[in-house]
């Protein structure tokens, strides 16, 4: 696969999500060609037309089921180009109570948040390394900073994804490929609709998109969308286990 386009291209994995759409708009506004990958990608034709018209950039749609790992090489080859930036926004929150008793649902949450995104980014990592350039962005979560009773199935998967991104960043250092980890904290999206979220700690999808583009430009490594989360998670990570267990957070 070769990259013949002079215009930079951003591939958004999970382009159907609110965050994915916001990131697509932000990169398009910066002049990037945009490729949106998602299940039932044809249903994103309206988004494709809107982004193309609004920012006067080429936009393409690509079918992707991140859980169908056998088809990942076919998906990458089918792009017809090697992007400059790949952003994974793939994720599934699920319900903690259901995940504790339903193996199928727990498996889907774990695979959606860790296995699928990590394996696909790993393929792009190898291609970027061969080319000697590119940026990989993984949208992880503060939930992966420490296992909490309220969402430890989701959190454990995000912890794995965060560790994967960290290791990948270390491996590719000095090889022209940069890896970014984005930790948004609470975000107002369809996934969190109906949840009571604290306004000072809750970002809009557009904030995540702005932080993502900034991280790519400045080659940042790990970014908390709202800086307050850096302090909050520092405290949570360092709470003694006896105290943390009593919190049942």
List Cα–Cα distances, 99 to 106, 114, 155, in angstroms.
4, 15, 12
pLDDT confidence band for 40 (50 / 70 / 90): very high
Pairing of strands 33-38, 202-203: unpaired
Whole domain around residue 49: which residue ranges?
9-247
* Residue positions annotated with a catalytic role: 154
The number of domains in the chain is 1
Q: Which pLDDT tens digit goes with each residue over 89-103?
A: 999 998 899 999 999
Within a domain: 1 = no
Within a domain: 4 = no
Residue 198 has what pLDDT? 62
Mean pLDDT of the chain: 91
Within a domain: 2 = no
Q: Which pLDDT tens digit goes with each residue over 210-223?
A: 999 999 999 999 99
Within a domain: 37 = yes
CATH number at 92 reads 3.40.50.720
Within a domain: 228 = yes
Within a domain: 68 = yes
Within a domain: 23 = yes
Of the chain, the percentage scoring pLDDT greater than 90 comes to 73
């Amino acid at each position: 696969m070769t990259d013949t386009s002079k215009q930079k291209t951003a591939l958004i994995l999970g382009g159907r999500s609110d965050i994915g759409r916001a990131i697509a708009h932000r990169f398009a506004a910066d002049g990037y060609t945009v490729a949106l990958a998602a299940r039932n990608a044809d249903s994103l034709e309206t988004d494709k037309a809107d982004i193309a018209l609004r920012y006067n950039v080429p936009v393409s749609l690509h079918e992707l089921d991140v859980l169908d790992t056998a088809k990942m090489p076919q998906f990458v080859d089918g792009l017809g180009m090697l992007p400059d930036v790949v952003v994974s926004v793939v994720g599934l929150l699920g319900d903690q109570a259901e995940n504790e008793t339903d193996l199928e649902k727990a498996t889907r949450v774990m695979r959606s948040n860790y296995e699928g995104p990590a394996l696909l980014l790993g393929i792009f990592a190898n291609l970027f390394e061969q080319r000697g350039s590119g940026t990989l962005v993984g949208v992880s979560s503060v939930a992966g900073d420490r296992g909490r009773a309220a969402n430890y199935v989701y959190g454990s998967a995000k912890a794995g994804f965060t560790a994967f991104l960290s290791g990948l960043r270390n491996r590719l250092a000095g090889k022209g490929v940069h890896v970014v980890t984005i930790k948004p904290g609470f975000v107002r999206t369809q996934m969190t609709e109906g949840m009571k979220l604290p306004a000072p700690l809750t970002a809009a999808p557009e904030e995540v998109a702005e932080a993502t583009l900034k991280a790519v430009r400045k080659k940042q490594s790990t970014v908390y969308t709202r800086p307050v989360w850096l302090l909050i998670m520092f405290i949570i990570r360092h709470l003694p286990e006896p105290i943390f267990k009593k919190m049942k957070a």
